[in-house]
């Protein structure tokens, strides 16, 4: 009986840890945005921390903030927001503007830095 | 690979589109001038009504005797020509690239539909190849360049299908896809593929001469 309780306790502990880590900031593994409800392609695999450490990126290079005049606000970042909050084209059947911004941000950087995936299937890879 | 990708998707794409649109303009203008000099009657005989009447009869399957005599070829070419235009222009992946570069976008096909259209183009190309190889009159009229041209038409669709389905080497194939499409665009105005825009003039003239001068049908 005691063994069983111990086992269930350990199991619950492991499960809650797994659930917690799956939703924590540290373990982002895909580029996702709630504005994409009907995905045309598989989500791009993206290990957030691993990528940014390797690329040497500051948070606000992607999580940037612009003021009302369209100027970049230095030293501020927008991690608490989804990209679509600013870049979602409202009223569109498909958020083309959001696709555009994602591609320009990710692929644009890969092209100019000559590093990282650039062809469609390299990011939007089907599950093996 | 990034350098090649950048080159093929950037400067080479510009060269291809300039040759394509510039080539079409050059062919139309130079031929219009040549006709004025050598065959001035073309301008006199030209009749828009008879031209369109003939074009419509030759553009739809079974609307001309020639087409009714070759039912399978008629259906295959009709589907082929629709798909070769519609699939690339209304493909989501192409529109999103144009949107990134120029901030313009338009309606797109569901990927599944574009996929089927791509297969129809490839299938039609195989049909044309077999026809060239087996049908005596067509075989007699075919030279090596005709087969190369057919391969060049099929190449962007084969590589596009390959890249979309992410078969092995899809990064390289994506580059080959862009490259083959650029080669195709660049040669269209300067090869027999220029029937893409000259058809309307050759057919239109035939329609005019037969309809407005000889008072006869030409379909």
Two structure tokens written together for A88: 């979602």
**Is residue A98 located within the same domain as residue A37?**
yes
Nearest C-alpha in B relative to A119: B171
pLDDT in tens, B128-176: 999 999 999 999 999 999 999 999 999 999 999 999 999 999 899 999 9
Say which of A104, A118, A120 has its CB closest to residue B2: A118
Q: Domain holding A111: CATH number?
A: 3.90.10.10
Whether B96 and A103 have beta carbons less than 8 Å apart is answered as: yes
In this complex, do B163 and A120 lie within 8 Å of one another by their Cβ atoms? yes
Cα distance between residue B182 and residue B137, in whole Å:
32
CATH of the domain at B138: 1.20.950
Q: Which of A94, A108, A114 sits opposite B2 (nearest CB)?
A: A114
Q: Give the closest residue to A36 by CA, choosing from A120, A79, A77, A92.
A: A92
**What interface predicted TM-score (ipTM) does this complex get?**
0.81
pTM over 0.90: no
Q: Is B161 on the interface with A (CB under 8 A)?
A: no
Question: Is A72 found in the same domain as A21?
Answer: no
Q: Are residues A36 and A85 in the same domain?
A: yes
Q: A19 to each of A29, B28, B140, how far by Cα in Å? A: 14, 66, 71
Each residue's pLDDT tens digit, B72-83:
999 999 999 999
* Domain identity same for A86 and A106: yes
- Residue B15 in any domain: the answer is yes
Per-residue pLDDT in tens (0 to 9) along chain B, 219 residues: 889 999 999 999 999 999 999 999 999 999 999 999 999 899 999 999 999 999 999 999 999 999 999 999 999 999 999 999 999 999 999 999 999 999 999 999 999 999 999 999 999 999 999 999 999 999 999 999 999 999 999 999 999 999 999 999 989 999 999 999 999 999 999 999 999 999 999 999 999 999 988 888 888
Domain interval for residue A4: 1-26
- Establish if A29 touches chain B: CB-CB under 8 angstroms: no
Closest CA in chain A for residue B95: A96
Among A103, A114, A121, the residue with its CB nearest the CB of B170 is A121
| A103 in B contact zone (CB under 8 Å) | yes
């Amino acid at each position: 009986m005691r063994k069983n309780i111990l086992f269930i306790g350990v199991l619950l502990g492991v499960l809650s840890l797994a659930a917690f880590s799956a939703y924590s900031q540290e373990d982002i593994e895909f580029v996702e945005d709630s504005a994409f409800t009907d995905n045309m392609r598989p989500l791009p695999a993206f290990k957030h921390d691993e990528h940014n450490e390797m690329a040497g990126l500051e948070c606000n290079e992607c999580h940037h903030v612009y003021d009302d005049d369209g100027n970049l606000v230095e030293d501020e970042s927008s991690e608490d927001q989804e990209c679509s909050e600013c870049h979602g084209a409202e009223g569109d059947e498909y958020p083309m503007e959001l696709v555009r911004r994602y591609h320009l941000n990710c692929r644009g950087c890969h092209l100019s830095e000559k590093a990282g995936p650039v062809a469609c299937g390299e990011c939007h890879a089907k599950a093996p | 690979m990034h350098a090649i990708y950048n080159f093929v998707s950037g400067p080479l794409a510009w060269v291809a589109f300039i040759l394509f649109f510039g080539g079409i303009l050059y062919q139309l203008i130079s031929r219009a001038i040549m006709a004025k000099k050598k065959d001035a009657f073309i301008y006199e005989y030209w009749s828009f009504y008879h031209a369109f009447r003939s074009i419509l009869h030759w553009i739809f399957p079974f609307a001309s005797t020639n087409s009714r005599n070759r039912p399978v070829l008629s259906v295959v070419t009709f589907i082929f020509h629709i798909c070769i235009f519609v699939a690339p222009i209304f493909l989501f992946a192409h529109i999103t690239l144009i949107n990134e570069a120029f901030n313009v976008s338009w309606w797109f096909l569901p990927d599944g539909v574009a996929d089927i259209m791509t297969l129809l183009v490839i299938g039609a190309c195989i049909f044309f190849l077999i026809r060239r190889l087996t049908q005596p009159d067509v075989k007699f009229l075919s030279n090596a360049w005709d087969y190369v041209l057919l391969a060049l038409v099929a190449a962007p669709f084969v590589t596009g299908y390959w890249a979309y389905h992410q078969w092995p080497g899809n990064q390289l194939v994506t580059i080959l896809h862009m490259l083959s499409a650029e080669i195709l665009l660049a040669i269209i105005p300067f090869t027999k593929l220029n029937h893409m825009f000259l058809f309307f003039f050759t057919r239109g003239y035939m329609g005019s001469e037969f309809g407005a001068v000889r008072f006869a049908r030409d379909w």
